Copies of this chain bind each other. A is one copy, B any other.
Amino acid sequence: MNLTVAEENYIKSIYKLEEGAEAVTTTGLAYELDTKPASVTDMAKKLKEKKLIDYEKYQGINLTAEGKKAALHIIRRHRLWECFLVDKLAFSWEEVHELAEELEHVRSEKLIIRLSDFLGNPTIDPHGDPIPDAQGKLGKQRAQISLDQARTKRLEVTAVSDKSAALLEFLNAKGIRLGTQLEVIERYEFDNSIEIKIRNQPAFTISEQVSKNIMVRPL
């Protein structure tokens, strides 16, 4: 199946939205891809034609098994390139998503196998996301929940959901990265903000919006 760059981007976004449960809507996908609903409808017809999605007018979009497999391969390429950029070229985690967004479209089985080997076959990317293997299979993920839902005090950061430079730079400033161990000092009901403390540093407060995008596991 030979996909265009646009088709690959759509497939990947559909996969992402499907992961976050519920139906993938025209408008939701348009928002995710920073395009217009009309464009999504057009592309939906093409992807249906190629049997990569199930789609009926007004009924939302879902990846077929084949579409899901394609998505995982694109995600694999994306995340391996991110590892390369961070591990080998010393980019920081807020810079790599955009570059990987382009590099992921260079299609060569051999290139990706070699790249993965070169990187030591990593299983998670710089944002804590799992990297599918060459067959498109995702390994067992460690149990993780978002910080706003965690109910224990001592936690370790395992991933970030939002890859925007805005969030990642905020986390840099606060000293929060993958593997950071933190303690919840207080949860404020009023706005669901959370006061946290890292090691011996002074405690600080983060908004609900930030806490929803930090994935953690109990220590």
Contacts and interface: CB of A to CB of B under 8 A. Distances in A.
Nearest to A88: B118
A91 B114 contact: yes
Contact of A99 (B85, B99, B111): B111
A contact patch SS: helix
Contacts of A103: 103, 106
A88 B111 CA distance: 11
B106 A89 contact: no
Contacts of A118: 88-89
A35 B203 CA distance: 64
A108 B99 contact: yes
A90 interface: yes
Interface in A88-117: 88-91, 95, 99, 102-103, 106, 108, 110-111, 114-115
Interface in A116-171: 118
Interface of A: 85, 88-91, 95, 99, 102-103, 106, 108, 110-111, 114-115, 118
